[in-house]
Homo-oligomer: A and B are copies of this chain.
Amino acid sequence: MILFFTTFKLSYICVMGILRKTKSVKILLDEFEKQSTAISAITLIERFHLNMNKTTIYRILDKLEDDGFLHSFLGKNGHKWYAQCSGCSSAEHHDIHPHFQCSDCGKVECLSTDVLIPTIPNCKVDVSQILIQGTCEECFS
């Protein structure tokens, strides 16, 4: 729940996500607004290590995910990536979708395309993470 400059009394609301609009939060929010593609935690740490500690970055990303502002997934090396949600809330993330990672430049994009997941005999399927790898538009041409 992102609530900036409201008149709510903090002690009364559910505490899981971002409550205070700190410099660090502003920097990360701006970065995701500016860049539409996904960003890895590692990249953010490299990019903002002068502005804030890596612990802070991990903690803010975690909260922004709780808030339904970001969603996370694992890239090809099993490292954590984040991208903006569209229409999610702290109540539920309903924007599960495949991701495309360029093997050349490493860039990751969220795909709006739906992939049909097969049913598995006697198993209950919950979610599926799909990472498609190849060469992106820029690296291809």
A residues bordering B, Cβ < 8 Å? 74, 76-79, 98, 100, 102-103, 111, 113-118, 120-137, 140-141
Do A100 and B123 touch (CB < 8 A)?
A: yes
Do A137 and B118 touch (CB < 8 A)?
A: no
Do A122 and B103 touch (CB < 8 A)?
A: no
CA distance in complex: A77, B80 (Å): 10
User: A132 and B117 in contact (CB under 8 A), knowing A78-B79, A123-B137?
Assistant: yes
* Residue of A102, A118, A125 with most chain B CB atoms under a 10 A cut-off: A118
CA distance in complex: A139, B129 (Å): 21
Inter-chain contacts of A141 with B (CB < 8 A)? 122
Inter-chain contacts of A127 with B (CB < 8 A)? 132-134
Chain B, residue nearest A111 (CB): B120
* Residue of A98, A117, A132, A134 with most chain B CB atoms under a 10 A cut-off: A132
- Taking the closest CB of chain B, its distance from the CB of A133, in whole angstroms, is 5
Do B134 and A122 touch (CB < 8 A)?
A: no
Inter-chain contacts of A100 with B (CB < 8 A)? 120, 123, 125
CA distance in complex: A120, B124 (Å): 29
23 chain-A/chain-B pairs, Cβ below 8 angstroms: A74-B74, A74-B78, A77-B78, A98-B128, A100-B120, A111-B120, A114-B118, A115-B117, A115-B118, A116-B116, A122-B137, A123-B135, A123-B137, A123-B140, A124-B134, A125-B133, A126-B135, A127-B132, A128-B132, A128-B133, A129-B131, A130-B130, A130-B131
